[in-house]
Amino acid sequence: MPAPSSSLRPALVLWLYAAAITHILAGLTLTWAGDSGLLDGYLQVLELSFWGADAVPTAGHEQQVWWLALFGGTLQSYSLYMFALVHLGNRLKVAAVWGWLIAGILLWAPQDMWLSAQQQVWSHVWLDGFALLVLLPPLFWLYRHDRQGKE
């Protein structure tokens, strides 16, 4: 028997809050852990896609760490906006808020997947696909649920 919408809605909103917080933490990690050794495996995958089996020049590695840190700040900002939209969608129960989150994800994911596939960074393609699978169904459900509540 399906869960009643009164208990499913808070669970889905909580899931989206958790996703936003996870993105904030990931952004902080990318910004501040580049030289810590924590991201060495990830950096190695990225460097292999650009440098192949050749030795990565020190300047190339440093630039890659810099790009990760820069992207981390962008991810933190995006995540804060995501958190705010989830909060507004939850409080206001306006379907348009969920629609904007859906639009943002559908704007980002195909481009990110395409660019990652071009460089053969398959971990990004898989991670983006996973993000689509765990974010879009709750967002579509909330969009539909809150839209029905206004009719």
pTM of the shown model: 0.90
Condensed to tens digits (0 to 9), the pLDDT of residues 27-80 reads 999 999 988 999 999 999 999 888 888 888 999 999 999 999 999 999 999 999
Tell me the average pLDDT of the chain.
Answer: 93
- Look at residue 1 and tell me whether its pLDDT is greater than 50: no
Cα(13)–Cα(135) distance, rounded to whole angstroms?
11
For the chain, give the DSSP string. -PPPHHHHHHHHHHHHHHHHHHHHHHHHHHHH-TTSSTTHHHHHHHHHHHHTTSPPPHHHHHHHHHHHHHHHHHHHHHHHHHHHHHHHHHHH--HHHHHHHHHHHHHHHHHHHHHHHHTT-HHHHHHHHHHHHHHHHHHHHHHHHHHHHH-
